[in-house]
Structure 1
Amino acid sequence: MIFTRLFPFLTWFKLVTKASLKADLIAGLTGAVIVLPQGVAFATIAGLPPEYGLYTAMVTPIVAALFGSSLHLVSGPTTAISIVVFSAISHYAEPGSDEFVSLALTLTFLAGVYQLAFGLARLGAMVNFVSHTVVIGFTAGAAILIASSQLQHITGIFVPKGESFLHTLLDLYQGAGSANFYLITIGLVTLITTILVKKFFPKLPNLLLGMVVGSILALYFKEFTADIKLVGEIPAHLPPLSMPNFSFATIKMLAPEAFAVALLGLIEAVSISRAVATKSNQRIHANQEFIGQGMSNVVGSFLSSYAGSGSFTRSGLNYASGAKTPLSAIFAAIILMLIVLLVAPLMGYLPIAAMAGVILVVAYNLIDFHHIRETLSFSIEESAVLITTFLATLFLELEFAIYLGVLLSLVLFLGKTSTPSIPTLSLDKTQTNGKKKLIDINEKPLKQCPQLKIIRIDMSIYFGSVNHIQKRIATISENERINHILIVASGINFIDLAGTEALIAENNRLVKNGGCLYFVGLKPSVYEFAAKSHFIQQVGISRFFDTKKHAIEHIYKKLDREICATCPALIFDECQP
């Protein structure tokens, strides 16, 4: 057991067969062809030399596959992470410079340490509190930022480094008259080719073919303009050893940005792995996925790789290609190494305008139009989160946009759980198998006892919900003049100390008025905590019941007989003459 925790690949390695090896090899070959242009494009977005995207696509998938939990997740460079890396480091160094690369490696190491710590501390459940709407809003905003940053390469209009979104648009508008027709043609032809290949020949590597067509067109246009810039030759070797900058000043400077990268990377990886797992009927262990992502980034920082995460495109394609085990991701990385050794020099002929055209397609695919329409149509709260995160991504620092989105998710979650449903129940006289059922009076108009109010609390009683629950009990006591309140507690998942204190206070107030709080159907775990916190002792053990029948029998004895004598409801068996 301890070996499988330390080396989780021992678990899925048992699934490897001759048939699965063949399926994984085919899926790996497909993945390698797809990630070749993506790696170059993503590194460009991150402000790094193109080879660093390929190095990341070689190292990160192997480590993440060995130490993660998903059978189909493929890690590596991603668009969202790349733009956050660029945003975080471009304040401190010139993109593409040696200092920029060094800081990117340090950022990657710190992000990996954060992720590893989260996994070891078993904080995988925290991803559940980040709304998927936040991710949709952030990626949509990131897509527009990416597109706007590439327009200068397609048009040839000069835009200073580090310009904000609005300033970039202003620079492009003011320089529209100096746009280069040849660069625009290269970018558009690359873009159109990529889209058409995807539509009519979906099995072919559309991004790669788009780059090839753009490169051929650039060779032809070279006779007419000198403004066509090339990506430059990519070194034809495997990821070299590297060393992050471990100076205290650098770590202190990058720690906040690294936390944002770590958080976004974990949200991406776990969300994607769960999405694919729903199709493959696999259970994902979020803590192990955290460890896998953390290990991949820590190891990657010493092998010339920048921060990576799970890729939705490559993971989905990996599953669709018939992959059976994480060996497919490992095969993809190894095949990519072989491809780079053979064809890396050819990448030197790739025009930056063609690369920008490919990146525009990548950016467009980031926008989840389907879920955006659904969110805006059906939920006001989720729409507010989506729009806020989207605008924050465009106009504020990207790290702050991530934090703001997470904060909004938590506020939304707390808002929903702080106002639990508290329906009023009454006995239905319609016999069901000889028993009367307690049902919600909103579902069926029923008579109610004028002295005993029966309510059900459908969520947990904790510091966030106590105010709502206290108001409900106070309304019953003060407005309806009912001081005997029976709480059907079967829907309560837990009670914290703030919850017990609030219930004790309400019980004491009801006791002064001649009534009391009663509880029926507490779950064993909730009852155990209530006993340990002395809640049961202070309310009185005689006020807690296992069945509704026993609870009503006990409470009926405490009701005012004069009121019972003139009561028109007579809903309990005890009420009958």
Structure 2
Amino acid sequence: MSLKKIFPFLIWLPLTKTTWKDDLIAGITGTIIVIPQAVAFAMIAGLPPVYGFYTAMITPIIAALFGSSYHLISGPTTAISIVVYSTLVKFVSPETELETYISLALVLTFLAGFFQFMMGILRMGKLVNFVSHSVIIGFTAGAGILIAFKQLQHVFGIKVPQGSTILEILAYIANHLSETNWYVFIVATGTLFIALIIRFLIKPLSKYYMLIAMVLGSVLAILLGGDVNGIETVGEIPSNLPPFRIPDLSYDNVNTLSSGAMVLALLGLIEAVAIGRSIALHTHQKIDGNQEFIGQGVSNLVASFFSSYAGSGSFTRSGVNHQAGAKTPLSAIFASIFLMIVLLLLANYASYLPKAAMGGIILLVGYNLIDFHHIKQVYKSSGKELIILAITLLGTLFFDLEFALLAGIITSFFFYLDRTSKPNIAVIALNKEKRFVNKIRDLDAVECSNLKIIRIDGSIYFGSIEKISDFLSKLYDENKIQHVLIAGEGINFIDLAAAEWLSNEILKWQKNRGGIYISGLKIISQDVLEKGGFIDKIGKDIFFKDKNTAIAEIHKRINKPCEFKVFEECNVKVEG
């Protein structure tokens, strides 16, 4: 195994000689965005705010070094924080036993990281390849809308109850619109318009539009009176680095938290890979699912020793990172380093950052996460893919994120199985040019009266047996066709259940009719037939390398004249 496989950062590290400036700007922007989020997410997880900062410092560095995505930013997230709280609160209350609660949070993080790491080592990352693009696009769009709506309270300056859904947010703001703090509104919308102007009209500064907008938005807040006029800031920020602390991995703790840790691990992996893949749609970077599993696992394992709770990929910060011009994972490392510097040296200044300015920027980030181009493409090209996209998007908006992803994945699996369970069965005939064609495409093409040739386009497995069986049963019941040749070039594989059915079907035809034959079957499709002993059961002499060889041999076994001459081998009865 090469060093680059063990240490994937060796692949992108040489690139930073030319990209470090872009990564630096993106890192600074990311630092500004993560400060209020770290506070909020830690509180959602039932932990003191400082643990959100610890997670935002340690997790992104390790995930950047050992992951595969160049733009994914890991750290505290809403969904993970909610799962952490809902898992731990069953066993201990953060209000009455905070130290025990924190201790269990670190154990939960370690276990989640361990499960993620082992799934990566076992190369289970390929499972994410079954998550269709429509799921990713729907999830991304839903998350973008969700992120934007969550920021409306900071745009209007209206205190929306924590944990409100999109509909509740809209209803609450509509009912309390008269309470809008116009100073806050001006800062939020002003920051948003500044960002748009710089991005689209001032091209030399377009790379830095978020950072400049945040700074100018902060200045605008000061000019409008700041706290005096109700323009909230992120508030007091602790000024210390994450302390080393070994998780209490006692048998009782591990046994108690294992199931919750597995749920946490799976959600974190799906979230991280989904975000990485959604950004990769724009950057065209290839995401290695196994490496991403390992990166997320190692980041949580290491983080658990530095007083950090579980993290995963963040839609908001990853979106900001990409849109701010990041080129390599160095931007995530810069963001973490700057966060450490801010907390150590500039905590007092950073505490004045207005939430309204960040709200304006995050509105733009949320909008940019909606991939209108691909949504339009899905709408035009496939009704089934549109259903998958819609289910995932609506699930993201109105239900838990993990439910939305699972609903989208299950729906895409359903349509996949539905499609593969109904393989195309083409009746093959000979046209005037003596070429094999699908009978449907050329009605003048002719078939041999004694030999039905069909082509199966798709795999023969437990799900597709029914359709193929129905087709052969109709041929059998017609009592006219004695011999059937299956052109097997389009059969990708045959599973055990299908091999059992196929052998029984062939034996039935051999006993009561002429027989079923197969030509051009791929070696991989013959694998189960051979290893399972089915070929010995039905006979090797029914398999042929191509259609022409099969037709010649089958006609030697036909014991009645053909009605007319289709193939050279056809035996036509001569009258008189």
- Give a deviation string over 1:89-118, Cα, whole Å, max 9, x none: 5655889x9789777766654443332232
For residue 17 of structure 2, the aligned residue among 1, 13, 22 is: 22
Is the alpha carbon distance of 1:198 and 1:14 closer, same or farther for their aligned partners in structure 2, counting shifts above 3 Å? Answer: closer
Q: Which residue of 1 aligns with 2:156?
A: 155
Is the alpha carbon distance of 1:66 and 1:226 closer, same or farther for their aligned partners in structure 2, counting shifts above 3 Å? Answer: closer
Shift of 1:480: 7.7
Q: Which residue of 1 aligns with 2:83?
A: 88
Amino acid at match of 2:224: F
Amino acid at match of 1:442: I
Q: Which residue of 2 aligns with 1:433?
A: none
* Residues 67, 295 of structure 1: 8 Å contact kept: yes
- Give a deviation string over 1:214-236, Cα, whole Å, max 9, x none: 22222233379452221024345
Q: Does 2:82 match 1:75?
A: no
- Give a deviation string over 1:383-402, Cα, whole Å, max 9, x none: 11111122222222222222
Map 1:500-519 → 2, pairs under 5 A = 500-519=499-518
Q: Which residue of 1 aligns with 2:467?
A: 468
- Give a deviation string over 1:422-455, Cα, whole Å, max 9, x none: 222223452xxxxx54332333341111221112
For residue 263 of structure 1, the aligned residue among 270, 290, 294 is: 270
SS at 2:447 equivalent: coil
Map 1:379-390 → 2, pairs under 5 A = 379-390=382-393
Q: Which residue of 1 aligns with 2:481?
A: 482
Q: Which residue of 2 aligns with 1:353?
A: 356
* Residues 207, 358 of structure 1: 8 Å contact kept: yes
Shift of 1:499: 1.0
Q: Which residue of 2 aligns with 1:36?
A: 31
- Within 2, Cα distance between the matches of 1:306 and 1:358? 26
- Greater mean alpha carbon deviation, residues 159-168 or residues 101-110: 101-110
- Within 2, Cα distance between the matches of 1:521 and 1:225? 81
* Residues 272, 310 of structure 1: 8 Å contact kept: no
Is the alpha carbon distance of 1:155 and 1:203 closer, same or farther for their aligned partners in structure 2, counting shifts above 3 Å? Answer: closer
Map 1:349-498 → 2, pairs under 5 A = 349-430=352-433, 437-445=435-443, 446-479=445-478, 481-498=480-497
State the TM-score, normalizing by the size of structure 1.
Answer: 0.84
Is the alpha carbon distance of 1:21 and 1:383 closer, same or farther for their aligned partners in structure 2, counting shifts above 3 Å? Answer: closer
Is the alpha carbon distance of 1:53 and 1:420 closer, same or farther for their aligned partners in structure 2, counting shifts above 3 Å? Answer: farther
Is the alpha carbon distance of 1:90 and 1:395 closer, same or farther for their aligned partners in structure 2, counting shifts above 3 Å? Answer: farther
Map 1:175-190 → 2, pairs under 5 A = 175-190=176-191
* Residues 462, 499 of structure 1: 8 Å contact kept: yes
Structure 2: segments with no counterpart, 5+ residues: none
Q: Which residue of 1 aligns with 2:528?
A: 529
Is the alpha carbon distance of 1:14 and 1:249 closer, same or farther for their aligned partners in structure 2, counting shifts above 3 Å? Answer: closer
Shift of 1:83: 3.1
- Within 1, Cα distance between the matches of 2:207 and 2:103? 36
- Give a deviation string over 1:520-566, Cα, whole Å, max 9, x none: 1222222232110112122211101122222111111222423x1x3
CA RMSD of aligned residues (A): 3.5
* Residues 489, 521 of structure 1: 8 Å contact kept: yes
- Within 2, Cα distance between the matches of 1:143 and 1:271? 12
Amino acid at match of 1:140: A
SS at 1:423 equivalent: strand
Is the alpha carbon distance of 1:338 and 1:15 closer, same or farther for their aligned partners in structure 2, counting shifts above 3 Å? Answer: same
- Within 2, Cα distance between the matches of 1:109 and 1:364? 35
SS at 2:129 equivalent: helix
- Within 2, Cα distance between the matches of 1:576 and 1:560? 9
**Aligned residues: percent identity?**
38
Structure 1: segments with no counterpart, 5+ residues: 431-435
- Greater mean alpha carbon deviation, residues 140-149 or residues 374-383: 140-149
Map 1:121-200 → 2, pairs under 5 A = 121-200=122-201
- Give a deviation string over 1:304-327, Cα, whole Å, max 9, x none: 364133876477569x7665xx66
Is the alpha carbon distance of 1:241 and 1:362 closer, same or farther for their aligned partners in structure 2, counting shifts above 3 Å? Answer: farther
* Residues 115, 290 of structure 1: 8 Å contact kept: yes
* Residues 75, 308 of structure 1: 8 Å contact kept: no
SS at 2:351 equivalent: helix
- Greater mean alpha carbon deviation, residues 354-363 or residues 244-253: 244-253
* Residues 517, 542 of structure 2: 8 Å contact kept: yes
- Within 1, Cα distance between the matches of 2:484 and 2:441? 20
SS at 1:422 equivalent: strand
- Within 1, Cα distance between the matches of 2:276 and 2:326? 20
Shift of 1:360: 1.6
